[in-house]
Structure formats: C-alpha cells, structure tokens
Structure 1
Amino acid sequence: MAPTAEEEEAAGIGCGRGAVAVEALLGLVADVSALPDNRGPFRRMCCDLARRVKLLAPLFDELGDDADSLGPAEIRGLETLCAALLEAKDVLRFVNEGSKLYQVLRPQKFEQVFRKVTESIEKALGEICLDKLNVSVEVKEQIELVHSQLCRAKESTDSLDLQLNRDLNWAISENHCDPTILKRILEKLQLKNKNDIMRESVALHEMVISGAEDPDVSVEEMSSLLKKLKDFVISENSTSASIEKKTSFAKHRSPVIPDDFRCPISLELMKDPVIVSTGQTYERSYIQKWLDSGHKTCPKTQQTLSHATLTPNFVLKSLIAQWCDANGIELPKKQGSCQESKPGNSSDCNRAGINVLLQRLANGNQEEQRAAAGELRLLAKRNADNRICIAEAGAIPILVQLLSSPDPRTQEHAVTALLNLSINEDNKGLIVKAKAIPKIVEALESESMEARENAAAALFSLSVVDQNKVLIGEAGAIPALINLLCHGSPRGKKDAATAIFNLCIFKGNKVIAVKAGIVVYLIRMLVDPSGGMVDEALAILAILASSQEGKTAITHSNPIPLMVKLMKTGSARVRENAAALLFSLCGGDEQQLRAAVESGAEEALKDLMETGTERAKRKASSLLGLIRQTADSSNGGCAET
C-alpha cells in the first residue's frame, strides 16, 4: 500500500526539521543566558522572563537525543515555540540596550510588550503535548511548572512606581530641580556614573536616528532631563573626588572573578578574549604564545585546531567590561586598542580585531564577508568609540561596495552598519565621500525588507546635513522611499515617512515628491487609518503644503472634508496636525475656506479651542479668524481693501 500524504509529510519532517528546531531552541536559550543582567526599570520582568526561558533548556537537551523521531505536530509546536523565544530574546536585548528614560516614562507600553511575549511562549508551550515526547518525568514536571508560571504572569501587572513617576514629571517641568529628586531618579534608573549617562544618551540618540521606536514622549524633554542628570552627576563627582581617592583601594578589593571571564591558560581576567577553531576562548597573548611554540591543539580540550585564526570575542569582551563597571574595577587595558582615537575615548575599541574583520570583509568568501559585516554592524551599534575606530580603520568604502553584494543578508548587514556608523557626525561626511548615497538608494529595492528599512533610516540620518538633502534627492531616493512607504513593512513605512519628511524640508525635493504622486498615497493613508500612518501622512502633507506645487496637488484631492473629520474624531496629535494642514490650505484661498465652513469646520475648531493642544488652539484661533474675516467681507462689513 502506498503511503498517505500525511505519512509522507511525517517522514519528511522527521528527517531533519526536528533536529533543526531543537538546535535552534538550544541556541536561543544560550543567547538569552548570555545577555547581561538588566539593571533598568524593568529589572524584575526581564529576570523573570529570562529565568523561565532558561528553565526550558532541560526539555531541549533531552529532545536533542531523539529529535528525528518527533512527529509533525510536535515539530510544528517546537517551531512555534522557537518563534516565541526569538521574540523574547529580542525584547530582552531591546530593553537592555534601550533608553531607560523612555522606558520609565512609558511603563504601560513596555509592560504590554512583556505581556505579549509571555502570552506567546505560554500559548506555544500549551500546543506541545508533553506526553508524546520522549522526556523524563522530572523534565515534564518542570515544563508544566514553567507553563503555569507563564499563565499567571500574563494576567499580572507590575505596580507602577508612583514616587519615580512624580519625580520624573517634576524634573521635566522645573528648570531648577531639587538635587534630592535627581538623586532618587538616578538611583532608580541605575545611572551611577558618567559612563552610564553616556550610554543612556547614546541609546536615546540611536532610538531617534534608527527609527526603531516611534517615541510618543518628547525627545526634547528626555534630552533636557538627561542633561540635568548629567550635570548633577558631574557636580557630585567633583565634590566627592577626594573621598573616592582615599577609598579606592578598599572599593576595588578582590571581587570574585567569574570563571568564564578568566583565561583557561593564565587564569587571569581576560583583556582581549579571542576564539579558536574549537570554540574555546583564551586571552590573545597567551594563546598566541601557545601557537607560536608549535602547538596545534586546543589547550583546554586537546582537540586538533583546524586553523590558527583567532577571532575576537566581542560579546564576552562587552560582558567583562560591564562586570568591571558594575564592580568598580578599572577596565583592563586591551592590546591592539585604538591608539588614534580622540582623548577621552574608552578602551572598548579593539583596532586589531577590527582589522581582522576588515580583511575578511575585503578578501573573504561570501560567508566570511557576511559574518564580518554582521560583526561590524553590531560593533557600530554598541558605542560611539567603536564607530570612530571602525571608520578610521577604513571600513566605510568596503561596506559601500558590499551594498551591491548578490547576497541579501550581506547587503542588509552592510547598509545597517553604515546606518549605525552615520550616528557619528564626522562619519556622515565619510559615507557621502565614499559615494554611498546612490548605493543606499539601490538598497531600497533589496530583497531583504530589513535592508530596505535600514536604507531608509540611513538616508534620514545622512539628510540631517542640509547639503545631503540635495544629493539624496538627486540620487532618486524619493520615488523609492514612496514605494517603501506604500508597500513596506510597518517599520519600513515609518522609516520611509521619516526620511521623506526630512528630505522635503528642501524645496526641490517637495517638487520631486509631488511629481512622483505622493499626495494620492498620503490621502489614502488618511482615509484608511488602520495602517497606523495618519500622523506621518499629515506631517508630510503639511510640509508639502508650504510649496505652491504641493498645495495645488493636495487641494485637487478634495482634502477639506477629511481634515474636518479628523479634527472631530482623531487623537490629540492628529487633531493638531489636521488643523495645521487645514490652516495651510485655507490661507489666502477663499474657495478652500468656504469648503471648510460648508464641511462644518467651525464647530470642530471651537471644540479644538477648548480641548486641543497649545499648537492646535493657535491654529484653530487663526482659522476662526480667517472665517470671520471672510464672512464680514461677504456681508459688506469690511470696507477696506
């Protein structure tokens, strides 16, 4: 008898997908375990989520021995769980690396993120029938316990820190804030020193530049508060400098160094950890001496080394740096550190390691190029010093060339590395000088949606410099950005909208955008708010309306009834932007003003005068003034011309 379709599917699945799924799950648990402990406002939620992910490891360990015998339903369940754990890893990394100020100012938003990922893991675990898996009773009991914890966790909420909330609101609103309040905020956010403040500043800057978040908190307010905190920390440090000197010896006395941070050869804290072909990590100088002595084996495992290449372990290096900072230990001076960096730079930049990556980037095969570009992408994201060192090492021209790589993943890494490097103001000039703009525009048509998203974000970053707005417009970026705005992912649409808005500050780009037909697409976004792009569409329309070409194109779309509707039904921000656009359209145009009156604008404007934002009230007042002047003129009440 011939096998059924289901039997054939089961046979096919059992021949590899099970092992792949289990291996991926083990890798995700390892990635979560390697993340540093969170010290921010969501410390408890991060710890709970990470702990529950780690508790799943015994299940995957036991399944690894019998992965090929898993049935189709079990494999599908594990693949669903894999997607949920990948989401959990991304959330933990994002919260670890993101702006603490933004997180604490929007706690409900981040609680919702944690609740969503908890629900995803709980649901995925619920779809896996443990009785059909060949695992021990102890493991089943542990997984059932984790599942019950997740069920409770998705229903519970963290109580808000009301004192911290009051302190933040006070610190934001007052020009001269009580030092006691600033000190409490610093303690709650675990911002202990200038380095912590600098990391927070970089995280806030990267959030704005990359467009990874759409901050519904004023960036200006967060920056102002961060400056107050920085000034306070500097003041405190200067007054306590002498005390710190006297107590430095006691303060730095012998905390226990984690075993993973010690070199297996010297047993000392590693300064420049590198990975050998067996996957073991050693201090560079000691393993190099071992190899120079003629040894061809791994000292720890005694396995034969397939090659003698030493790969920098940047992740472990970062963890060591964080551990040193947390324990008040001076960071170890690294061999090969960037000697040409500006004074005051941290020693986190490893020039020798970067040079190794650049050699692979320039001369390696496709896989080596992809891996090296990915590593540079992460390094450039990590801190400001790395961005300087990578650029000084000559990476930018090579990354620009890789924007034309036939491998979509390599192209994605290259454009994202350039985006991260562009955060540094000097690097913006180097990127433009390397003729990157046309190639970044080409990346807007990449197979990889992430490459397209980050290409748009890179163009926005470069367009901060006014002369670059002209170059980007001339390179044909605007039609490609409009295409991403219409057909991209949710994040891609946001990135495209941000770039288009900034580019259209230059008048010539307004004309290009209008000729490319952007107005029609923007009006559609206003008609269908389900896409979540109403704010962005209104903002772009408002800046286009400041030119005659833009105003003419918008009025041809009969936008007045739609603006009035948005002023009546939209959010506070939408109502404000709709009023601003309506004012631009009606100013000096009696026909549009009459259309506004006929559409019921007066009622909406009067309501806006009472309940709108300050800017909305100003626009509403001005519009009502125009309407009254037109009415007086029509009734003969205005004799003057």
Structure 2
Amino acid sequence: MAKSEKAELAQTLIESVNEIASISDYRTPMKKHCGNLSRRLKLLLPMLEEIRDCKAPIPEELVMKALLSLKESIVHAKDLLTFVCQVSKIYLVLERDKVMLRFQKVTALLEQALTEIPYENLEISDELQEQVELVQIQLRRSIEKGGDTFDDDELYKDVLSLYGTVTDSEILRRVAKKLQLMTISDLTQESLALLEMVSSSDGDPGESFEKMSMVLKRIKDFVQTDNPNLNDAPMKQRSPLSKSQDIDQSIIAIPPEDFRCPISLELMNDPVIVSSGQTYERECIKKWLEGGHLTCPKTQETLTSDTVTPNYAIRSLIAQWCESNGVEAPKRVNNSQQSSKASASSSSSTPPTDEQSKIEELLHKLASQRTEEQRFAAGEIRLLAKQNNQNRVVIAASGAIPLLVNLLTVSDDPQTQEHAVTSLLNLSILQENKGRIVSTFGAVSGIVHVLQRGSSMEGRENAAATLFSLSVIDENKVTIGAAGAIPPLVTLLSEGSRRGKKDAATALFNLCIFQGNKGRAVRSGLVPVLMRLLTEPESRMVDEALAILAMLSSHPEGKMVVGAADDAVPVLVGLIRSGSPRNKENAAAVLEHLCSWSQEHLVEADKLGVLSLLIEMAENGTDRGKRKAAQLLNRFSRFKDQQKQPGCGVEDLISVI
C-alpha cells in the first residue's frame, strides 16, 4: 500500500470523528451515553493525526488493516449517534434494551479495532499511546460490566404505565419534563420523529408504534390542558400581565430562555447569580440550597459557596423586555424581606448594592471616550476581579468583558491596555468566564495584539498568562493557536524578562498539547530558542524548555528540526547524566524520538557513553524514565543486529536489565 493511501485513510477517519464531535442535539434519554462515546472518539484524534503525518518507514499492510477496522467501528458509531439524534424519545425509552445493545456492539468493535493497531511500529509519542490506552481501558471496563446501562428505571416504568389507563397527572408531568416534551416545538418534533419511523416501516408500523403514538397523545393532551395558552413556553409558564390590559391570550409574547429561571421555568422576578455563574430566581435557588444540595441545578457543577449575588444586568433586561411587550414588569424584591441567613451570608461575600453601583459606574467610564476615565475604570476592575470569585461573577454578568476587549486594540494608552488585559486574566480565573471571554468577538485576537505589540512588558507578560489560563479548556487551544498566538509567545520566551519567559513557556506548553499547534510552534522557530535555554542554566528555564521539547520532538517536523540543531545529542546526553529525575526522563524521550528518525544519532549517543546511563535509568529511574531507557536500549540492540557487527557490549548491557 502506498503511504498516500495510509495518510488519506487516516484523514478520512479524522474527518469522521470531527463530524461526530460536532453532533450536539442528542435525544434526552440517551444524552449521557452519546456524550461518553463521542468523548472517547475525540481522544483518538491526536493519534490519527500522527499516523497521517508519519513519514517513517512502517509496515503499511498492518497499519492499513488496523485503520480499516477502526473505520468500520467509527462508521457504526456515527450511524448510532445519528440514529439517536433523530429517533423518537419515547422509542428510546421503551426500546432501551435494543438501543443499549447497539451501544455495546459499537463499544466492542472500537475496543477490538484499537487492539489491532501496531503501536510498536508507529513511532507515536508515549503520551498519545497512553491516551489511547486510557480509551481502551474505558471501553474494556464497559464491556466487562455488560456495557453502559439505561439508568432511569423510574422513567421507563412511568412510560410503560401510560400504555394502560393511567392518567396520573404527576406521572405525566414527570415524563414530559424528563423527556423535555414541554413546548409546542418539542411535541411537534417528537410527532415528526414517530411519523418518520412509520414511513421507514413501509406503512406497517405495528403495535409498538401505535402504543408510542398513544403515549405521545396523552402527554400532549396533558401539557395543553395544564397550560391552555401553550405556545412555545414551557408548562406552567405564565406571563405576568397587568389585569388592566386587554390583550389577546393567543399573541402573548414568550420570554426569552435567559429570562426564565432554569428551576421554575418562569419569568424571573429577582434573578440572582450563584458561584457557577448561572442565574436563578432567588426563592427557587434558596429552596434548592436549603434542601442540602451543593451543586448547580443546571450544570451539576459543585458550588464553591452558598451565597448569591443579585443579577442587575438580567433584571434590567427583563424590565426592558416587559415594557416592550406590554407585560407587567417584575417587582424588585425588598432586601429586608430576605431571610436572616441570606442577609448574613450576603454581607460576608456578596457585593452590596453600593458595590454593584460602583461596578455599573465603572462600566460607564470604560465606554467613555476619555482616556483618563478608561484608565481609571480598567484599573479598578482589575483590582476587583483579583479579589474573589463573587466579584468575577458580577463583573462578567454586568457586561464588562466586551468593553475590556475593545480597549485591547482601541486604546493607545499603555497603562489602560495593561489594565484591560490583566482584568481579563483575573476574570478568567473563574472557569465560567473562560468560555465567555473566548466567545467574545475579538477577544483572542485582542489579547494576541497586546502580546505582540503591547507597549509595556507587564502587559505582554499578562497577555501570555491570560492565553495560558484560557487554553486550559481544550477547545480554546485550537482557537488560540489559529489566532496567531504562538509566534509572539516564542518571541517573549526568547526576549522577555524571567517572569515573561515563564509565562510564555507555560502558555506554549499548554497550547502544544494540541497536536495541530506543534507544527505551528516548530515553524515559528521555537526549537532553537528551547535549545539555547537548555544550555543557559542561569536562565533557570531548563525544566520548562525540556518539557516543551519532549512534546515537539514527537511531531514529524519537530524531530527533524531538533535533530538538525547543533550539539542536540551531546546536550541531551549531558542532561541524562546530571539532570533532575524529571529532566532525565524528558531528555531520554527527546533522544528516543531523534534516534527513531536517524540512526546517526544512535551512533553519536553511543560514543558519548549513553548506554551505561540508560542502564542506570532503567534500573533506578522514574517509571516513565525506566520506560524511555528501555525503549532506547532496545533500539540500540536492533541497530547492532542490523549492522551485523561484533557487539560493543550493548546486548550484554541490556541483559542486565
């Protein structure tokens, strides 16, 4: 098989996995199982990219056979996930055993396909192999325990009970909510899904389809009876119309989703923010917290605090919406009516009204055209965002992020620019804000602009630290790399202060975890900078430089550039000889990649006495160090066998291990 066929097949698999990853509208009853399968497939992307890009001589027949087997399993996975997205929700519950059997079959196919891949011939990095092994373990564990199970027995029993004469409103309400069949749109989509199943059965749907239709009709009748004015609003949603208004009920405006409490599904009167960044009606979240729950009802994220903060921004938007649509505006809740417990907790960590007023005033100054006001406001927000998570929640919810982003490129004042990027850095400490910042138009490019052209070194350093903070989320690694962040990070690593180099190194390390960014980093001239840092102990950057180099050398372009560097092998052997345990294992990892690319490096390392060092590491090193040393020793042994020359002690040394 030609190498181009291998690369083409690997690219096809990459595109298929990306298509699967883009699917998000999984049907409610099977959402967890679909998410697990999609997540496991996404973890295979870096390995497939390395197989596609690998130019080393490998047994093509074995690889092609393994990739074809993997392709078959991915096709089955994609078909299953597409099916689950389109089929009736009621069907997914009632036919749960059939659906779960399909998940088990796909799991088994994937596990078998991954077992057939000849990893020992593929020159892929240990990190990637360990990642694939983790996926295999997860798949194997699922198979051993009989596959994933449909874990909502109550929902299954409730839907079964609706076959008979049961008309219990609580059961109907429970089923409608769990299946998310609470609006006209939801019910229509479910009806169409059932009709599609009837059509695909050649007009003979059978008894089971008739029963499903009957269940859907009961749910639909209940929802419409429970909410006679149902349009696209959820059950029990009532717009608080003024009694004096004479408005046709059929044209009542439906509140936007963001204005409804995720718990009650009703228009919020007193919206408050919890530590996860989500907004709820005060009374609803209060009851949730008093019930002993320690998680966010919407995201299931563990709450770091039970305090709540008034969401003045949403309250103002709700008031504007009500005024525009002829709906009575929510009445502001008097703070004195809150429980003593809520008042006590709010006074300790929730910004009071005057603090909120201060933030609103600062936002007005941020939007000002006067440099002095912008500088002052950005500096104050920088300090507030540094203090605690509660401030970070309120500042972001108040709409500060777009204003700060605007200052990154619009302001010519170095101090204002520095304050703005540092404010974003402090806001990004809160996990919820990372996504908000990256999704704000121009945010990443603005941070890169400061990193590249910022007038103050502190601003450039903080821009690098911000990129590191944002890149903790895997999806952001792709966005940041594509925005051109890597070249200016390399420049900062080369020319910055000690702190700037540290910030740049941590950002580059995090970004290069994504395979696609490794090539960008190599082409940006990162390798020569890292090699120089390895020979400058006074810079105290050896640890960081070697860790990044270990990742880059696993990339085809990376190992070529590292191998071409002057004194690369002597420097690595020196680090294996006298470096810290962590540095020894990283140096061995880099050397192993170089030796896989060119046998000249084997000869050079042998002359420098690396064999005795590897024996010592194989016996007494870290777990990863032992593994790397063993791989190198085996490579030396194979090389000697190929040369068919009298050994120079290599086989004898290996036998000691």
Q: Tell me the TM-score normalized by structure 1.
A: 0.45
The structure with the largest alpha-carbon Rg is 2
Q: Tell me the TM-score normalized by structure 2.
A: 0.44
